[in-house]
Amino acid sequence: MGKVRLKYFSRIRETIGKTSELVEIKSKNIEELIEELQSMGEQYSVLQGRDFIVYSAVDQNMVTDVKTSIEGATEIAFFPPMTGG
């Protein structure tokens, strides 16, 4: 597919150990991307959402379906639910 900027927030950023990275990917959707990232290291397993829900956004548009296409995307963000007070 090409290079894409991945951004990580909150607990995800803490687990992966970086705020963002530019990576070359082959994936066509969010689900495939998470699988591809896991091959880069165990820390990416946080993206599976086993311990908490993980949301994603493609080019700053929130997506709810892991089958959402990421072809042509320049930025994909991963973040947990946000709360305020």
pLDDT of residue 41: 95
pLDDT of residue 74: 97
Per-residue pLDDT of the chain (85 residues; tens, 9 = 90+): 689 999 999 999 999 999 999 999 999 999 999 999 999 999 999 999 988 999 999 999 999 999 999 999 999 999 998 755 5
> What's the CATH number where 8 sits?
3.10.20.30
Position 34 in a domain: yes
Position 84 in a domain: no
Distance CA 71, CA 85 (A): 37
Q: Which candidate, 41, 36, 25, 35, places its Cα nearest to that of 75? A: 25
Could you give the number of structural domains in the chain? 1
pLDDT of residue 82: 78
Residue 14, domain extent: 2-79
